[in-house]
Structure 1
Amino acid sequence: MISLLQLHLRTDQGRSYVKQMRKQGRIPAIVYGREMNNQPVFVDAAEFLKQLRTTGGIGLLDAKINDDHVRIIVRDIQKHPIRHDIIHIDFLAVDAKTEVDIHVPIHLIGEAAGVKDGGVLQQAMHQLSIRALPSNIPPSIDIDITNLQAGDVITVSHIQTNGAYEINHDPTEVIASILPPKQEEEIHSGEEQEPGRPESEEGRETTP
């Protein structure tokens, strides 16, 4: 368990107050849950970013709202479209004995043998929806692709959960694959061709 995250109740939700709070290095947020009313809060930006680097934003966090202890997970992070700094956070208050649905990032580990032979790695999924007790939420789903050859495919069914969580996806969904070199060349050559009007047998463009 990581260190306690301190949240502070917000009594003013006006735009000017929120803007001033961001200038002071604080991030507005909200905490909600099945057994509690929505509570507008703020968190110190530096403290939260430290937690984010430690956990990747995934997993159970111990927090305090003023003096009340609460266990939370990060449900959503909103960022400014241009500056990309965090402008709002949604926290979900959870019961340690109640399963929750959450998206966990997928990390592909190693360099595939098929890539070394000239193939191209394609990652179709970058996060996985799982259902787990808060204490069993992994920071990421790590998949070793070292032995993946050209033409090989990794699907959801290849993930070993060891009973810690359930996966909310069809087992046949593709996570990653290695595209053979020749197929990759064909795709690129096809992308370069501009669509044209059909030609007649004499080689001239047909008229509608």
Structure 2
Amino acid sequence: MSEKIKAEVRTEFGKGAARRIRRADKVPAVVYGHGNDPIHLTLPGHETMMALKHGGANALLDLEIDGKTQLALTKQVQIDPIKRHLEHIDFVAVKRGEKVTVEVPVHLVGDAARETLVVTETSTIQLEAEATHIPEHIKVNIEGAEAGTQIHASDLTLPSGSTLLLDPETLIVNVTQQQSAEALEAELGEAEAEAGIERDETDKDVDEVGAEETESTEAATEE
């Protein structure tokens, strides 16, 4: 679903103009596409931020420009890394019913079996979907998944009207056996040995002292 935002055509350009726009709690933006010249706009800051939060990475906005409405798909959003306010937005002009190519995030649902490690190998997937029916995310159910479970792109359930543009064999989620502390330590030791790294005696002493202190604490607790 698209959200309506009233936009103003922007006639001032450059860093100084952009700073003045942001000080007024507004956002500079550009709409590209359909063979037309880019349309430079100024959008209301708070309304635009809320629309992007509701719509996700592929937010669809109905931009009201000089009394006309333009459907626009969000393509790139620049955010200030410190103040976290919107700095600039790039849109692509689209039409209702038009197919577009988008990147949609993967969202894991549920909990895998105990003592397993869940790794998301591919965090976003490429889809073709109607501009007005872009999914906010693709759910992947891992409830009760045992070690050895692998979920590939071909296993995903896509919304009606969406087409996968990814190799079906692409690994999306991999569920493995969780390693114990001893196994991790042994693996680290092997890696260090292969790299020719030798632990200093001081390192070994610290490990031994730590182990002894732990044992002493446990014994005192039992008493």
Task: Work out whether the TM-score is over 0.5.
Answer: yes
Cα offsets for 1:119-144 (capped at 9, x unmatched): 11111122111111112211111111
State the shift of 1:40 in Å.
Answer: 1.0
- Alpha-carbon spacing, 1:138–1:196, altered in 2? closer, same or farther (3 Å): same
Question: Gapped runs of 5+ residues in structure 1?
Answer: 199-208
Q: Residue deviations 1:7-55, cap 9 Å, x none?
A: 2111011211111111221111110111421011121121011112222
Report if aligned partners of 2:2, 2:132 keep a CA contact under 8 Å in 1: no
Is the CA contact (8 Å cut-off) linking 2:57 and 2:104 kept in structure 1?
Answer: no
1:8-87 to 2 correspondence within 5 Å? 8-87=8-87
Residue 183 of structure 1 and its aligned partner are, at CA, apart by 8.2
Match in the other structure for 1:100: 100
| Greater gyration radius | 2
2:151 aligns to what? Answer: 154
- How is 1:167-178 mapped onto 2 (pairs within 5 angstroms)? 167-178=164-175
Question: Which amino acid in the other structure matches residue 134 of structure 1?
Answer: A
Q: Is the 8 A contact 1:59 1:134 kept in 2?
A: no
- Provide TM-score, normalisation by structure 1: 0.84
TM-score, length-scaled by structure 2: 0.78
Deviates more, 1:135-144 or 1:188-197: 188-197
Decide which structure has greater helix share: 2
Which residue pairs with 1:205 in the alignment? none
Q: Cα gap change, 1:110/1:13 in structure 2, threshold over 3 Å: closer, same or farther?
A: same
Name the count of aligned residue pairs.
Answer: 195
CA distance in 2, matches of 1:153, 1:188: 26
Question: Which of the residues 166, 178, 198 maps onto 1:181?
Answer: 178
Aligned-pair distance for 1:189?
4.7
Query: 1:163 offset after TM fit, Å?
Result: 4.2
**Aligned-partner SS, 2:21:** helix
User: Runs of 5+ in structure 2 lacking a partner?
Assistant: 199-223
From 118, 121, 132, the counterpart of 1:121 = 118
Determine the C-alpha separation between the residues in 1 that align with 2:185 and 2:76.
37
Aligned-pair identity in percent equals: 25
The alpha carbon displacement at 1:83 in A equals 3.9
Classify the secondary structure of the residue corresponding to 2:166.
Answer: coil
Q: Which residue of 2 aligns with 1:165?
A: 162
Match of 1:7 in 2: 7
In structure 2, relative to structure 1, the CA distance for the partners of 1:123 and 1:6 (3 Å cut) is: same
SS of 2:140's equivalent in the other structure is strand
Q: Could you say which residue in structure 1 is the equivalent of 2:91?
A: 91
Range that drifts further, 161-170 or 182-191? 182-191
